[in-house]
Amino acid sequence: MEFLAKGKRGKVYTYKSKIDGKEVCVKELNPDSEVKDVIHNEAKFLKTANKAGIGPKLLAEENDKVFMEFVQGERILDFFERAPKSGIVKVIKDSLNQARKLDELGINKYELTNPYKHIIVSYEKPVMIDFERCKETKKPKNVTQFVQFITSGRVKRILKEKNLDLDSKELRELAQKYKKKYDKDLFKEIKEEIQ
């Protein structure tokens, strides 16, 4: 196995499957972590997310490890800096759709206000990763968090350079209204602002 990354809660490795030659990602508990249910949490929420077409495919959970498909791609901000406007609009709308699905499932992902390491763009498709901190809640904030991200200082500057000048005030107000009722028409209005 090849070491890939280490976070507060987990260590991540990759290897090539002997069965089909595909690259597999393995996450195991960081021994220094005080939170011990990280691996089970990752598997539980990734399994639910997969049913909605979100996240890398969960392959197995065993021996305090989670095995999932490895996602080849680039971090979302790197993609924004490199890609044309049309690709960026596509990725933002797709990310919002995934955030909406998580809201409908009553899952809060938490990292979406700053998903730099948590959304990998693979062939203009955003893939959300890292489900270890997810929580079930009646008031999820995934869409609202993602709107905060795309209207924040650095991201807004990058998007403006690509001729995608978002009305931060309008978008944030729509996101706040949406969060109160999770209304599909308000969600549609949010997406219509991205063009």
Q: What is the DSSP string of 86-121?
A: HHHHHHHHHHHHHHHHHHHHTEE-SGGGS-TTTEEE
What is residue 124's predicted lDDT score, i.e. its pLDDT? 92
Q: Which amino acid is at 27?
A: K
What is residue 32's predicted lDDT score, i.e. its pLDDT? 67
Residues 182, 76: contact at Cβ < 8 Å?
no
Same domain for 173 and 108, yes or no, is yes
Q: What is the pLDDT along the chain (195 residues), one digit of tens a residue?
A: 777 777 666 788 888 877 677 899 999 876 665 566 788 899 999 999 999 999 999 999 988 899 999 999 999 999 999 999 999 999 999 999 999 999 999 999 988 888 988 999 999 999 999 998 899 999 999 999 999 999 998 999 999 999 999 989 999 999 999 999 999 999 999 999 998
Six token digits for residue 136: 């079930």
What is residue 160's predicted lDDT score, i.e. its pLDDT? 95
What is residue 39's predicted lDDT score, i.e. its pLDDT? 86
Same domain for 167 and 126, yes or no, is yes
Domain that holds residue 35: 2-69
Q: What is the CATH number of the domain that holds 112?
A: 1.10.510
- Cα–Cα distance for residue pair 119/136, rounded to 1 Å: 20
What is residue 3's predicted lDDT score, i.e. its pLDDT? 72
Same domain for 172 and 116, yes or no, is yes
Same domain for 51 and 130, yes or no, is no
Same domain for 82 and 136, yes or no, is yes
What is residue 96's predicted lDDT score, i.e. its pLDDT? 98
- Which residues are 63's β-sheet partners? none
Same domain for 127 and 89, yes or no, is yes
